[in-house]
Amino acid sequence: MDTIPTRLKVAQIYRKPLELLEKKLLLPNINPGIYQLFALIASLSTLFASTNIKIVLLFLILFSDWLDGATARRYNGKQTKTGYITDTTIDRFSEGFIFIGETIHLIGSFFYILWLINIALNFYSSKTKNHLSLPLRFTYLVYLLLIQ
Amino acid sequence: MLGSLPYYGIMKTMSTPGHMISASIISLIVAKVSPSQTNLVYIAILFSGIVDIDHVVMLAKNRTLFKKIGFRGTLHHARSIFHELAGVLLIGIASLFISYFTGHQTALVIFLSYVTHLSQDFILGKSFPFQPFDNTEISLFSFSIRNKIIIEGIVVVISGLAWIQYLHA
């Protein structure tokens, strides 16, 4: 696989407005890995957190995920294969840390099983060059906001 | 110079004792395991280091290759799929069963010890996350061996202090 798996057309619905917003953003020229490291630590922190804190942490994790992609696109030019693999791997680690703590209840177990499927989808994407991934952290954030 | 010492020359990620001290205390604190639950404490220490067995196996299996390329900064080639995302998937499935049959806390300790080890390796060293489907080498940060030793030293000291605090709680 020398090319990056292409995203589904449906992803353009949210990616286009984000790209427009991204151009107006003030971004420091730092290693995007710093945002990813923050996302990992924040994901681990959700295991201690109350629901309200979890909502804040999930928002910050998703925001840092966006910032790391935006920084890479602005300062490294086009997306690279290594960047794609690094990003998706960090996302899976982050989801794992978030959802293992939630297996204590039914909805959490459901998200945890979807996370396992998401890892398998990563392997599928690398073979087929079609990016397939479930937006689990975003969906879980929406779920937490709804039950509040 | 630290980098010229043979042991540190091999080390491209954290050492196994470093993982065992740090990943285990993270999992014990997060899973709210009390020091009196000795079985879980042993499980945490075991699963924080167990994945490094594959280095020994892979070094023995590929000894001809390692004779050729040497050991300095090449240990990431002595990783099996258990050290990559496939390993996370397998421990994830195992934890699900452990959670249902043994208990949530045990599953949490096993999962966190193992996955924290892999994430430490991913952050500090080189890895091949999509193996066996793709062999692209990934390095999140380009730390020199000297900087890795300093980071490991800091992590071990902080973890050691956390262990003292944990055992006295």
Per-residue pLDDT of chain A (148 residues; tens, 9 = 90+): 457 777 767 777 777 777 778 778 888 888 888 999 999 999 999 998 999 999 999 999 999 999 988 888 888 776 788 888 999 999 999 999 999 999 888 999 999 999 999 999 999 998 888 888 899 999 999 999 999 8
pLDDT in tens, A24-45: 888 888 888 899 999 999 999 9
Residues of A in contact with B137 (CB under 8 A): 82
How many Cβ atoms are within 10 Å of B72's Cβ, its own excluded?
Answer: 15
Measured between beta carbons, the chain B residues lying within 8 angstroms of A85 are: 129-130, 134, 136, 138
Q: How far apart are CA A132 and CA B62, in angstroms?
A: 35
What's the burial of A51, exposed, middle or buried (CB within 10 Å: 0-12/13-18/19+)? Answer: exposed
Digit-coded pLDDT (tens) for B130-162? 988 988 888 888 788 888 889 999 999 999 999
- Separation between Cα atoms, residue A3 and residue A81, nearest integer Å: 6
Is B114 within 8 Å of B51 (Cβ atoms)? yes
The reported pTM is 0.88
Indicate yes or no: CB of B133 within 8 angstroms of CB of A116. Answer: no
CB pairs under 8 A between A and B: 88
Spatial distance between the Cα atoms of A45 and A32, rounded to a whole number of angstroms: 20
From chain A, pick out residues whose CB is under 8 angstroms from the CB of B125: none
Q: What amino acid occupies position B27?
A: S
Helices B85-101 and B104-124: crossing angle, nearest 10°? 170
Q: For B88, which of A31, A96, A112 is closest by C-beta distance?
A: A96
- ipTM for this model: 0.88
Nearest C-alpha in A relative to B92:
A116
User: Which residues in chain B have their CB less than 8 angstroms from residue A36's CB?
Assistant: 140
